[in-house]
Amino acid sequence: MKIGVPKETKERENRVALTPEMVKTLTGAGFEVRIEQGAGSRSSLPDDGYINAGAKIVTNHDEIFSGSDVVLAVNAPSSNDLSKMRSGSVLICYMWASTHPELVSAMQGAGISGFSMDAIPRISRAQKMDALSSQSNLAGYKAVLMGANALGKIFPLMMTAAGTIKPSKVVIMGAGVAGLQAIATAKRLGAVVEVSDIRPETKEQVQSLGGRFIEVQGDDSIKTEGGYVKEVSADFLKKQQELIAKHVSQADLVITTALIPGKKAPVLITEEMVSQMKPGSVIVDMAVEQGGNCPLSELNKTVVKHGVNIIGESNLPSLLPFNASELYARNIVTFLQHLATSEGFKWELDEEITKGSLIVHNGKAVHPSVINN
């Protein structure tokens, strides 16, 4: 099978779907790999590395789509690019299909099949394919560094001849993959770290990393699915905000990570809470692309509101493109090799990973999240 990797066209995207290391893995397994010229340049992966790994460099963007049996990408290609794909070919990338019906329609119109990297079931045997986790891990690390850089003070306790500097206080909202990495990074830098999460089972993980857990009494309205909070009541969110308001007002840096798949991000930091924060403090809103956990954050901007610096970077993994591409490439190749051999796809439609991630099959919508859209 011929695999094609396009150069990413989404604004602020620096990653690439395959690295030379993973090209070697695929060519060694009998696949033919074609990479668009310059696809890895923003990840510090020049064309020569791909050529040495056995890939062919393609200068024509359209040819990647028209001449490939499988297209591997980070972000979903445009409808125009999808129209170039051959009927029966396969696309694998992030899709977020339930909120992008136009993408589903474009795949249907092209008569192709599409697997979504964000829909891979979060089960133990799919861990090596879990791009959401690998990229969130890097995002949590980068969020702390960006927050520290914007803060006008140091993180650790420092005792000097001129006096003692108190450690900074970091409040992290959400103890998922990104939040846990943020805890570990902030602790390594010497900060005092407090963590809020509405899932009580995360308390032990937070404490194991040295964080202090801000405990909110849960209720029956909290529903989780695949490691994410899927649904929570307005009453509970209000209760949570009231409890953490005090902690936020004393924080030097607040990092918010709360997302609900397919829905607008919940508001965790209100404008009133921001107004009570210390001058010069910082918020990093990791949910800004889905509306933000703070209503004052602005997409891909750093703004100052009520004396607080609010960072709204939408694509944190892309700011670490070498490592992000390295991990994503391993995820997507492991996934591809689960689905297919160099001779073709297995199409085990009842198998859990296949069934959970297949959005469109030969032009027909098949995933429950889009089948009624």
pLDDT in tens, 261-274: 778 898 999 999 99
In a domain, 30, yes or no: yes
Residues 274 and 339 in one domain: no
The pLDDT value given to residue 183: 98
Q: Which residue has the tokens 């009842």?
A: 350
Q: What is the helix (H) or strand (E) element at residue 143, kind and residue range?
A: helix 131-150
> Which residue is catalytic, options 68, 133, 136, 325?
133
Is residue 133 predicted with pLDDT exceeding 80?
yes
In a domain, 58, yes or no: yes
DSSP for 96-138, written as a single string: -GGG-HHHHHHHHHHT-EEEEGGGS---GGGGGG-HHHHHHHH
- Region of 174 (left: φ > 0; alpha: ψ -120 to 50; beta: rest) is left
- pLDDT bin (cut points 50, 70, 90) of residue 260 is confident
The pLDDT value given to residue 359: 98
Residues 215-256 have pLDDT tens digits of: 876 555 555 555 555 556 777 777 777 888 999 999 999 999
Q: Which residues of 138-159 are buried (b: 16+ CB within 10 A; e: fewer)?
A: bbbbbbbbbbbebbeebbeeee
In a domain, 367, yes or no: no
Residue 141 bears catalytic tag:
no
Residues 303 and 330 in one domain: no
* Whether 4 contacts 85, CB under 8 Å: no
> Which residue is catalytic, options 44, 127, 217, 233?
127
**What does R_g of the chain's alpha carbons equal in angstroms?**
22
Residue 122 bears catalytic tag:
yes
Say what the pTM is: 0.92
Residues 291-316 have pLDDT tens digits of: 999 999 999 999 999 999 999 999 99
Structure tokens at 327: 């991990």
The pLDDT value given to residue 225: 54
Would you give the DSSP letter of residue 166?
P
Residues 240 and 194 in one domain: yes
Residue 133 bears catalytic tag:
yes
Residues 139 and 265 in one domain: yes
- What are the φ and ψ backbone dihedral angles of 73, each rounded to 5 degrees? -145, 170
CA distance 210 to 270: 27
Residues 292 and 148 in one domain: yes
Q: Percent of the chain at pLDDT above 90?
A: 88
In a domain, 65, yes or no: yes
- The whole-number average pLDDT for the span 156-184 is 96
Would you give the DSSP letter of residue 69?
S
In a domain, 98, yes or no: yes
- The whole-number average pLDDT for the span 110-115 is 98
In a domain, 124, yes or no: no
Residues 279 and 337 in one domain: no
Residues 228 and 335 in one domain: no
CA distance 316 to 146: 10
In a domain, 343, yes or no: yes
Residues 282 and 166 in one domain: yes
> Which residue is catalytic, options 69, 81, 130, 252?
130
Residues 100 and 139 in one domain: no
209: domain CATH number is: 3.40.50.720
> Which residue is catalytic, options 78, 83, 118, 228?
228
Q: How many domains does the chain have?
A: 2
Give the domain extent around 35.
2-119+320-360
Residues 355 and 243 in one domain: no
> Which residue is catalytic, options 62, 83, 105, 122?
122
CA distance 49 to 53: 6
Residues 202 and 254 in one domain: yes
* Whether 356 contacts 44, CB under 8 Å: no
In a domain, 371, yes or no: no
The pLDDT value given to residue 220: 55
Residues 20 and 82 in one domain: yes
- What are the φ and ψ backbone dihedral angles of 158, each rounded to 5 degrees? -135, 125
